[in-house]
Amino acid sequence: MPLMRERLRRLEFLDPLFEAWRRIPARIRGWLPVAIVAVLAAAYPYYVSSLPTDVPVILAFPDVGASVTILVFVVMAVGLNVVVGYAGLLDLGYVAFYAIGAYTAGWFASGHFEQVRFHLGSVGVSREAQGIHISVWLVLLIAGVITAVGGILIGLPTLRLRGDYLAIVTLGFGEIIPQFVRNADSLKGFDLTHGTFGISPIDSPGFGEGLHDAVGLPTSFAQSFERARLFYWAALVILLITVFCCFRLRDSRLGRAWIAIREDETAAGAMGIPLMRTKTWAYAIGAFFGGVAGAYVASFNSGAFPSQFHFNISIFLLCMVILGGMGSLWGVVIGGAILAWLNVEGLANIGAWLNAHTPLNVEVAKYQFGIYGTIIVLMMLFRPVGLIPERRRKRELEEGTPHGVLDDPLYDHRAENEREETR
Amino acid sequence: MGIVFLVLLGVWLVVNLIKTPSDFFTVLLIGITTGSVYALIALGYTLVYGILQLINFAHGDVFALSGLVASTFVVSVFGLDETTATLGIIGGLLAILLFVVVFGATINATIEFVAYRRLRQAPRLAVLITAVGMSFIVQNVSLAIFGVNFRSVPPLISEEHVFEVGDVTYQWNQLFAVLATIPVLILLSWVVASTRHGKAMRATSQDPDAAAIMGVNVNRTISFTFLLAGGLAGVGGLLYLLEFNIRYDTGFELGLIAFTAAVLGGIGNLSGAVLGALLIGLIQAFNEGLSWHAPGSDWTRSIVFGILIAILVFRPEGLLGERTPEGA
């Protein structure tokens, strides 16, 4: 990167531009690219229809409905990044949080519990409808909190374990919870999850009659002609909030404690960081975003179905974090967007293009998890820091002390090798 | 709390024994059979964990791939079925056994060579993540070659009864899995306990650096361990195939169960893995086969993983293992 900047500087005619760029206060400069990308993303529904649909290799850009799914997966990847990237705790069962979030939406914003009738700010539902109907915005928060509590409950007994044992325990939970929701349709005769059929329909978010009449905000997303667009914008807002929270968290006292634990747990403990509490927070906050995302997906799909929650999702999310760069927020957003797009329609498109333009004839989408597995292995072997490495890690590599890097980064083997050599 | 749980489990078993004694013993025998197949896979996990402290996620998929390869051999290459003469079946199975052992061993050692060896100096989590990736790759190789359908073979081993006591029967094909497992276990413990390679393995697992100073070729020893583990997976694949159906993703779930067995017995401990596998086999069979208040097969996975979590939380060293820094 520095080399490239050197080269760019030689292009003197660009100097005024650089000058102007440098004149922008640093505080704003950092956020400007984000703002530009956010504006471009927000306007996406308006120009997506005019984008070409015969692009080589990728064929088309995702439509608005597919983009909602992509955004939500990115939210989950950012949430997982808190656990894996910041705190260095390998979580192979993140799908459990996704499932809890989705089913929370199913319980609190649908007619599933026919025994009761409770309405709180719900939109697009008849006042007389049975079941619990709470405003979806509120349900997103409720789902986040319930999932965070779930994360704490899972974390408290298991976070004492280190590394791979923790990974396997989380994997266990990731397997148990989907099986639980699949089977919990007659717990002592009580139908908690409606078994394999799942819970459907689930209410949609909206702003209600009052705000609709006053400022023209949509009453209910589902009843609008612009359903997909509205869900898209709301998902974008959720993503921005998530990214902002994670960004601020990283530099907070808690975030610095996470990174300290990631780099060297023993040293962090010796410095007085309460290990259990800090790790549990990482779990709870990571789980929170998973829950919000799960509830939002459930509302978007208008249903929570047990077949959605497969172990592969956990690996898929992990793959996003690894591809982007563990701990690197922007890396995870970009890595997540790429992989989520591949998953939603990219692989199918690429496969179709390959089959049309080469003698090959393969169902690329069928081998998606083989492809993700290959990405994981290749990244780990050749670029363990990810596509866009976290700045802190890059600095560690570039500006190591004369005796090599002193600390012990979790994922970077190059640092380890350097240390071995300098001994 | 653990004691209360064990007492309740005991009560549950005794009540089932009194209510339906024949079911109980039938299920017990099924449990021993599945348990012995699990033991072969669990040993592979435990061997690799013992030497590299790595959960080799790909192991279960190597097992499934070996089983699928064996199915091709039984059906297409040798064309064995129940009408083949006894001598033909024995000869064919031995030839297939030899082949899948070599096959599983080669695949497993190749995985180690390609993916894990480069990460020898890397942090353990990096290797673990790589292992998850390798698992998916091997699984997709199986998918690409064998498709999504279940493979099975005709009943080659006689289904006649070894013995009958009342309603309790034991079939030869069930006994076969047990009979085939025992010599493999004896051979394995001989290799680990009494050969030079075994000695090198034990030395490497205790301290790779010290072993290297003492003249042990650490990389070769690790390769040898993966060969052994892969060979066991091959045997397991063939035995499993003779009893059940097998598919490209069978290995993933079975691998997790076998891993649980290894943890239950104390990971890194060979006899622990066998004990754990038998226990898990029994638990699974009791859960699926007993009639009085058994959760049933819908919950098998939850129960197995529940055990895994409970063991890791309350007794990470397992039933037979020694306390390691990994726990506490």
Spell out the residues 6+ positions from residue B231 whose beta carbon is closer than 8 angstroms to its own: B101, B102, B104, B105
CA nearest A263 in B: which residue? B123
Does the pLDDT at position A408 exceed 50? no
Does the pLDDT at position A68 exceed 60? yes
Least confident of A319-333, A341-355, B57-71: A341-355
CATH of the domain at B112: 1.10.3470
Does the beta-carbon distance from B130 to A381 stay under 8 Å?
A: yes
Does the pLDDT at position A241 exceed 90? yes
Q: What is the pLDDT of residues B2-32, one digit of tens each?
A: 678 778 888 888 887 777 777 788 888 888 9
Q: Which helix (H) or strand (E) holds B170?
A: strand B168-171
Does the pLDDT at position A418 exceed 60? no
Does the beta-carbon distance from B302 to A373 stay under 8 Å?
A: no
Question: Is residue A29 very low, low, confident or very high in pLDDT (cuts 50, 70, 90)?
Answer: confident
Average pLDDT, chain B: 85
Least confident of A372-386, B229-243, B255-269, B310-324: B310-324
Q: How much is the average pLDDT of B79-104?
A: 85
Nearest to B121 among A175, A377, A413 (CB): A413
More confident residue, A257 or A221: A257
Does the pLDDT at position A403 exceed 50? no
Does the beta-carbon distance from B126 to A413 stay under 8 Å?
A: yes
User: Which residue has 């993983």 as its token pair?
Assistant: B305
> DSSP secondary-structure letter at B288?
H
Distance in angstroms (rounded) separating the CA atoms of residues A100 and A287 = 10
Does the pLDDT at position B325 exceed 70? no
CA nearest A154 in B: which residue? B309
Percent with pLDDT over 70 in chain A: 89
Q: How much is the average pLDDT of B89-94?
A: 86
Distance in angstroms (rounded) separating the CA atoms of residues A163 and A85 = 13
Q: How much is the average pLDDT of A18-36?
A: 79
Q: What is the pLDDT of residues B198-213, one digit of tens each?
A: 999 989 888 888 999 9
Overall size of chain B counted in residues: 328
pLDDT for residue A395? 63
Q: Does residue B13 fall inside a structural domain? A: no
What is the separation of C-alpha B190 from the centre of its chain, rounded to a whole number of angstroms? 19
Nearest to A163 among B124, B252, B298 (CB): B124
Percent with pLDDT over 90 in chain A: 29
Does the pLDDT at position A417 exceed 60? no
Instruction: Bin A200: left if φ > 0, else alpha if -120 < ψ < 50, else beta.
Output: beta
Does the pLDDT at position A60 exceed 70? yes
Q: Which helix (H) or strand (E) holds B164?
A: strand B161-165
The fold of the A43-383 domain, in CATH, is: ABC transporter involved in vitamin B12 uptake, BtuC (1.10.3470)
Q: Does residue B111 fall inside a structural domain? A: yes
Q: Which domain holds residue B124?
A: 24-314
Question: Is residue A3 very low, low, confident or very high in pLDDT (cuts 50, 70, 90)?
Answer: low
Question: Would the ipTM clear 0.90, i.e. be above it?
Answer: no
Spell out the residues 6+ positions from residue A341 whose beta carbon is closer than 8 angstroms to its own: A62, A66, A70
Question: Is residue A8 very low, low, confident or very high in pLDDT (cuts 50, 70, 90)?
Answer: low
pLDDT for residue B42? 93
Does the pLDDT at position A198 exceed 50? yes
Distance in angstroms (rounded) separating the CA atoms of residues B186 and B195 = 13
CA nearest A316 in B: which residue? B133
pLDDT for residue B322? 63
Alpha-carbon separation of residue A404 from A152, A202, A421, B66 (angstroms): 38, 56, 9, 45
Does the pLDDT at position A236 exceed 90? yes
CA nearest B129 in A: which residue? A376
Q: Are A46 and A291 in contact (CB under 8 A)?
A: no
Q: What is the pLDDT of residues A354-381, one digit of tens each?
A: 888 877 777 777 888 888 899 889 988 9
Does the pLDDT at position A100 exceed 70? yes
User: Which residue has 């030689």 as its token pair?
Assistant: A10
Q: What is the pLDDT of residues A295-308, one digit of tens each?
A: 999 999 988 888 88
Q: How much is the average pLDDT of B243-260?
A: 88
Max mean pLDDT among A22-36, A363-377, B308-322 falls in A363-377
**A179 to chain B nearest CA, in Å?**
7
More confident residue, A195 or B37: B37
Within 8 A of B54 by CB-CB distance, chain A residues are 164
pLDDT for residue A363? 77
Q: Are A164 and A269 in contact (CB under 8 A)?
A: no
Whether residue A201 has a cis bond before it, omega within 30° of 0: yes
Question: Is residue B318 very low, low, confident or very high in pLDDT (cuts 50, 70, 90)?
Answer: confident
Spell out the residues 6+ positions from residue B115 whose beta carbon is closer than 8 angstroms to its own: A377, A381, B130, B131, B133, B134
Q: How much is the average pLDDT of A38-46?
A: 86
Does the beta-carbon distance from A161 to B313 stay under 8 Å?
A: yes
Report the b/e string of B200-213 with b at 16+ CB within 10 A. Answer: bbebbbeebeebee
Spell out the residues 6+ positions from residue B50 whose beta carbon is closer than 8 angstroms to its own: B201, B205, B225, B267, B268, B269
Distance in angstroms (rounded) separating the CA atoms of residues B76 and A251 = 62
Q: Does residue B92 fall inside a structural domain? A: yes
Question: Is residue A400 very low, low, confident or very high in pLDDT (cuts 50, 70, 90)?
Answer: very low
Spell out the residues 6+ positions from residue A154 whose beta carbon is closer than 8 angstroms to its own: A96, A169, A170, A173, A283, A287
pLDDT for residue A11? 66
Max mean pLDDT among A32-46, A232-246, B82-96 falls in A232-246
Q: Does residue B95 fall inside a structural domain? A: yes
More confident residue, A419 or B316: B316
> DSSP secondary-structure letter at B76?
I
**B168 to chain A nearest CA, in Å?**
31
Distance in angstroms (rounded) separating the CA atoms of residues B38 and B304 = 13
Q: What is the pLDDT of residues A249-261, one digit of tens each?
A: 988 999 999 999 9
Q: Which amino acid is at A383?
A: R
Q: Does residue B234 fall inside a structural domain? A: yes
SS3 labels along A51-96: CCCCECCCECCCCHHHHHHHHHHHHHHHHHHHHHHHCCCCCCCCHH
* CA proximity to A307, closest of A395, A413, A390, A193: A193
SS3 labels along chain A: CHHHHHHHHHCHHHHHHHHHHHHCCHHHHHHHHHHHHHHHHHCHHHHHHHCCCCECCCECCCCHHHHHHHHHHHHHHHHHHHHHHHCCCCCCCCHHHHHHHHHHHHHHEECCCCCCEEEEECCCCCCCCCEEEECHHHHHHHHHHHHHHHHHHHHHHHCCCCHHHHHHHHHHHHHHHHHHHHHCCCECCECCCCHHHCECCECCCCCHHHHHHHHCCCCCCCCCCCHHHHHHHHHHHHHHHHHHHHHHHHHCHHHHHHHHHHHCHHHHHHCCCCHHHHHHHHHHHHHHHHHHHHHHHHHHHCCECHHHCCHHHHHHHHHHHHHHCCCCHHHHHHHHHHHHHHHHHHHHHHHHHHHHHCCCCCCHHHHHHHHHHHHHHHHHHHCCCCCCCCHHHHHHHHCCECCECCCCCCCCHHHHHHHHHHC
Question: Is residue A407 very low, low, confident or very high in pLDDT (cuts 50, 70, 90)?
Answer: very low
User: Which residue has 């099975």 as its token pair?
Assistant: B152
Distance in angstroms (rounded) separating the CA atoms of residues B70 and A186 = 41
Does the pLDDT at position A312 exceed 90? no
Distance in angstroms (rounded) separating the CA atoms of residues B181 and B281 = 14
Cβ-based contacts under 8 A for chains A and B: 144
pLDDT for residue B268? 80
Average pLDDT, chain A: 83
Tally the domains of chain B: 1
**B105 to chain A nearest CA, in Å?**
21
Does the beta-carbon distance from A384 to B122 stay under 8 Å?
A: yes
Does the beta-carbon distance from A168 to B139 stay under 8 Å?
A: no
Does the beta-carbon distance from B309 to A169 stay under 8 Å?
A: yes
| A109-110 vs A131-134, strand pairing mode | antiparallel
pLDDT for residue A396? 58
Alpha-carbon separation of residue B230 from A11, A249, B44, B271 (angstroms): 58, 45, 7, 18
Domain with CATH 1.10.3470 in chain A: 43-383
Q: What is the pLDDT of residues A179-194, one digit of tens each?
A: 888 888 777 777 788 8
Q: Exposure of B175 by Cβ count < 10 A (0-12 exposed, 13-18 middle, 19+ buried)?
A: middle
Question: Is residue A147 very low, low, confident or very high in pLDDT (cuts 50, 70, 90)?
Answer: very high
Nearest to A158 among B132, B139, B313 (CB): B313
> DSSP secondary-structure letter at B174?
H
> DSSP secondary-structure letter at B321?
P
Q: How much is the average pLDDT of B154-180?
A: 77
Q: Are B137 and A368 in contact (CB under 8 A)?
A: no
Distance in angstroms (rounded) separating the CA atoms of residues B8 and A417 = 53
